[in-house]
Amino acid sequence: MEVIILVGHGSPKKDANQMDIVGRLLHGMMHPGCVKDCVKACYLQFAQPDLHAAIKEAAVGRPERIIIHPYFLNAGAHVTKDIPGMTEEARALYPGIEFIYTEPLGVAEEIVSVAKERIEAAKGEIKPLEIEKRSFEIIAKEAESMLESGILPGGILSGEKVPIVQRVVHATGDFEFMSTLIFHPEAVRAGIEAIRSGMDIITDVEMSRAGINKKALSGFGGKVMCGIDAVKGEDTSRTRAERGFCDLAAGQANAGIYVIGNAPTALFGCTRLINEGVLKPRLVIGVPVGFVRAVEAKALLASQAEKFPFITNAGRKGGSTVAAAIVNALILMAKQGFTSPGSGN
Write out the catalytic residue numbers. Answer: 170
Closest residue by Cα to residue 212 from 331, 338, 333: 331
Do 67 and 4 meet the contact criterion of CB atoms below 8 Å apart? yes
Q: What share of the chain is helix, strand, coil (3-state, %, to 5)?
A: 45, 15, 40
The count of C-alpha atoms lying within 13 angstroms of the C-alpha of 298, restricted to the half-sphere facing its C-beta, is 28
* Spatial distance between the Cα atoms of 12 and 116, rounded to a whole number of angstroms: 28
N-to-C CA span, the chain: 51
Which residues make beta-bridge pairs with 202? 225, 258
Q: Which of 329, 204, 318, 326 lies closest to 271 in space, CA to CA? A: 204
Tell me, what DSSP letter sits at residue 73? S
